[in-house]
Amino acid sequence: MRHRPIPPQLFEHNRKNLARLMMPDSLAIVNANDVPPTNSDGSLRLRQNSDLFYLTGVDQEESILLLYPDAHEENMREILFLRETSDLIAIWEGHKLTKEEARKATGIKRIEWLSDFRPLFHRLMCEASHVYLNSNEHKRAVIEVTSRDARFVTDTKSRYPLHDYQRLARLMHTLRAVKSPWEITLIKEACSITRGAFLRVCKFVKPGVNEAEIEAEFAHEFIRRRGDFAYGPIIASGANSCVLHYVENSRDCRSGDVLLLDVAASYANYNSDLTRTLPVSGKFSRRQRQVYNAVLRAMRGSIKLAIPGKLPRIWQKESEALVQEELLSLGLLKPADIKKQDPDRPALKRYFMHGIGHPLGLDVHDVGHTTGPIQEGWILTVEPGIYIPDEGLGIRLENNIIVQTGGNIDLMADIPVEADDIVDLMSKGR
């Protein structure tokens, strides 16, 4: 692992909370993600199953967690199965967890090798009445590849057709949405790494620099501090700033452009999510500053509007109303546009077409029951934008907040966002 050791109390706490939500006499199984293939004999680096990491902190392939809180024998209540290493594996792939290392990292007393999974699993399946199986139930997921969990679901139902099967994802979405103090500490570290990289980039950006070179500056700081990119970096200058998910990052930055940076770090699999927009020349034009300040006001207003008990769709509507007022002030919309608009296709969507924010955690678009009310302890992104393709001008700003009764905590309050502060910071690099 690249990150520093995480206290096992985090994972013990998470498993206890899951056990409390499970039905009596039930078994839950969570598999590691597959190591994704590329071409020929190549493969990508493992990106661990977020639920498995949440419950164990294990970042190793082929791992399986088995939970049976009501098992008659205490040593059957939590079992972690790991891939057994060998001299050959050690030479070609490096170190794998020993049983003792896994006990220390996870707080799970019983660690077994994968070769013992089938007989132990069969024994417990014969005792359990209910079985929780896992799947990806994120509403925006596009599932085209069969995952390890999905294959396990098919195989288990075939072998044991008469059990009562339940959806583990419903429980995990409930648990993972509210962040514990340990998780907040890890996300704060991701935000701190992001801040350091952003300050570095502000002093680097100037006309003639390529978007790819800017990506490299972020990579330097992220990796140096044991982090990684939380998602594919968006480094979008000029007209690219109006492309929401631009990831080519290949254009030269030009004087007079804005540069939209939607780039953030992850740390220990926990993510941050930052967006800032810079003037490539070091100074905003009058028009750029007008739009920039409009988006900044919308972001700050939307941070205040995200309160416990409010439905996310209501928060979205209220934030859209803030952006709509700014669009009217900028002359991009007229009162007549609002009056004659189709309620299902509001006029403001021409300039602000995405959501105001989303849960953040082990996944950038983290899981949670977003049809229900916002809860205290959620971490949300807040990211309004105004995009004007006719002017080649896109401005988006984004901070991450912890939702709290009595006032939210801005985890990125120390990352410059005022237009004057951005200009001052960029001038120091020249």
CATH 3.90.230.10 fits 181-427, yes or no: yes
User: Which residue ranges does the chain devote to CATH 3.40.350.10?
Assistant: 9-176
Can you give the pLDDT of all 430 residues of the chain as single tens digits?
Answer: 789 999 999 999 999 999 999 999 999 999 999 999 999 999 999 999 999 999 999 999 999 999 999 999 999 999 999 999 999 999 999 999 999 999 999 999 999 999 999 999 999 999 999 999 999 999 889 888 999 999 999 999 999 999 999 999 999 999 999 999 999 999 999 999 999 999 999 999 999 999 999 999 999 999 999 999 999 999 999 999 999 999 999 999 999 999 999 999 999 999 999 999 999 999 999 999 999 999 999 999 999 999 999 999 999 999 999 999 999 999 999 999 999 999 889 999 999 999 999 999 999 999 999 999 999 999 999 999 999 999 999 999 999 999 999 999 999 999 999 999 999 999 987 6
Instruction: Give me the torsion for CA of 227, 231, 232, 235, rounded to 10°.
Output: -80
Question: What is the sign, positive or negative, of the torsion defined by CA atoms of 299, 302, 308, 310?
Answer: negative
Determine the length of the chain.
Answer: 430
| Partner residues linked to 41 by β-bridges | none
Model confidence pLDDT, tens digit, residues 400-420: 999 999 999 999 999 999 999
Give the per-residue pLDDT at 430. Answer: 67
User: Which residue ranges does the chain devote to CATH 3.90.230.10?
Assistant: 181-427
C-alpha neighbours within 13 Å on the C-beta side of residue 254: 10
Model confidence pLDDT, tens digit, residues 350-385: 999 999 999 999 999 999 999 999 999 999 999 999
CA pair distance 195, 362, nearest whole angstrom = 19
Model confidence pLDDT, tens digit, residues 229-260: 999 999 999 999 999 999 999 999 999 999 99
Give the per-residue pLDDT at 129. Answer: 96
Q: At what angle do helices 211-224 and 181-202 cross, to 10 degrees?
A: 140
Strands 385-388 and 275-279: unpaired
CATH 3.40.350.10 fits 9-176, yes or no: yes
